[in-house]
Homo-oligomer: A and B are copies of this chain.
Amino acid sequence: MTLSLTAVGLGIIVLGAGLGIGKLAFGAMEAMARQPEISSKIQTAMIIAAALIEGLALFAIVVALLKG
């Protein structure tokens, strides 16, 4: 009998990463709209924060692939 929860786990990974990056990018858009003159700085900060979440999620997906 095989009952694999790997796909469920992958789903929760993307749920967390998607909501997190979505929330911070939302904040970035709002901030750019309020202060257009520093939009490149905000974009840099957005990419840094999104990359942190992205890295975690990719690593977790790879581990799920190995252990799933």
On A, residues with C-beta under 8 Å from B are 1-61, 63-68
Contacts and interface: CB of A to CB of B under 8 A. Distances in A.
Contact of A17 (B23, B37, B53): B53
Copies of the chain in the assembly: 5
Contacts of A16: 11-12, 14-19
A29 B14 contact: no
Contacts of A3: 1-3, 5
Contacts of A34: 33-34
A41 B44 CA distance: 12
Given A18-B21, A39-B41, A45-B32, A13 B60 contact: yes
Contacts of A8: 5, 7-9, 11-12
